[in-house]
Structure 1
Amino acid sequence: MTSRVVLLCHAATRATRRAAFPADEPIETPPPPAPVRADTYLTAPEPSCRQTAAALGLSATVEDTLRDCDYGTWRGRTLDEVTAADPAGVTGWLTEPSATPHGGESTLDLIDRVGSWLDGLPDDHRKIVAVTHPAVVKAAVVHAILATPRSFWRIDVPPLSRTVLSGQSGRWTLRTPVG
């Protein structure tokens, strides 16, 4: 059977506006309530995701696996600040998916975590809406289309965007949104 997973990126935060590594901040402007039909609603545990789900009127269950990437010592700092302080670390992080110069989670570990979650979903023909982070959405896409981990950096996920995957464990298809 085929399931459908709609990954909904949380609303904009101060970090997204500043090009900073997230630090569990709240959303800046709640989205207007909108009907989003599904059998199951999930949300990452961070405030930005829980607030986005609530603003959309979704009664979502917290799913810890959908948490944001752990950026370690870079949390709350802008990319420019980190690049000025540690240019070699940033270059390594952007070019080597297993790198963790910040002491947190590597891109490769994030892709593995999110891919395991996707492949562990029941094959029961249900629709799941999950409110989560840009990095988690990117990791899901890389896993779903069997892209290389370096492809992670070639995916842009804006606030409130929807990414749709359909399929089942180990066989996912990226669907483009319908008008």
Structure 2
Amino acid sequence: MTGLRLIAAGHTRALRRAVFGGDDPLDDAGRNIARTLRIPGNGPWISAPSRAARETAALLGATPGIDPALADPRYGTWTGHTLDQIDPADLHTWLTDPAAAPHGGESHTQLLTRATTWLRSQHQPALTAVAHPTIIRAVLAAALDLPATAIRRLDVAPLAVTRLTRHPDGWHLHLPQSTS
């Protein structure tokens, strides 16, 4: 059985401002919260190439390998812009048509295909992956055989930890027990 632990990278200034793309480091709060998490170290760790993902993994005590398949979505001409700087009609198209990429970057359909391909290649008994929350959402949609439209309907908070296990009938989602 394959066990996959997914950790969303911590908060960055760009994430808090809803900026598309970029490669910001964790902000002070993101670093402080990451330092408080205790993640067991079984199995290898991998990380998206982004600074936030690598920094999150390092603060959790890991020295991850870098996996380009876990890179943040490509936002094309929207990179570095906030929601209010995007043409509302283009934003509406992107949010309602999973195959649309008005920014010239990756559509939700392309992102789901990338996540599905990555997920199918995972066969280690235990692996921890750190990536941007959007990539985690795409991996979860792939694991649960959801359509690309589900990517935007799944909420994954920064530093959220999710576990997937592969069984003969497919991937199973395990949500952690509450500590409060």
- Give the TM-score normalised by structure 2: 0.91
Deviation at 1:148, TM superposition (A): 1.7
Is the Cα–Cα contact under 8 Å of residues 8 and 130 in structure 1 kept in the other structure?
yes
Shift of 1:168: 5.6
Instruction: Give the alignment partner of residue 84 of structure 2, picking from 80, 85, 103.
Output: 80
What residue is the counterpart of 1:151 in the other structure?
A: 150
1:32-71 matches, cutoff 5 A: 32=35, 34-71=38-75
The answer to whether the Cα contact below 8 Å between 1:11 and 1:48 also exists between their aligned partners in 2 is yes
Counterparts of 2:96 and 2:169 in 1: how far apart (Å)?
26
Query: Which residue is 1:91 aligned to?
Result: 92
For residues 10-66 of structure 1, what are the alpha-carbon distances to aligned partners after superposition, in whole Å with 9 as ceiling and x for unaligned? 010011111111201111021216343221100000111111111111111001101
Contact kept, 8 Å, 2:21 with 2:74, in 1: the verdict is no
Task: Give 5+ residue unaligned stretches, structure 2.
Answer: none
- Do residues 118 (structure 1) and 119 (structure 2) align? yes
Taking only the aligned residue pairs, the percentage that are identical comes to 36
| Count of aligned pairs | 173
Contact 2:18 2:82 in 1 (8 A): yes
Is the 8 Å Cα contact of residues 5 and 164 (structure 1) preserved in structure 2? yes
In 1, the alpha carbon distance for the partners of 2:100 and 2:169 equals 25
2:35 aligned counterpart, secondary structure = coil
The equivalent residue for 1:104 is 105
For residues 69-126 of structure 1, give each alpha carbon's deviation from its aligned partner in whole angstroms, at most 9, with x where no partner exists: 00111111111221xxx1111011000111110011111111111111111112x5x1
The Cα RMSD (Å) is 1.5
Segments of structure 1 that go 5 or more residues without pairing to the other structure are: none
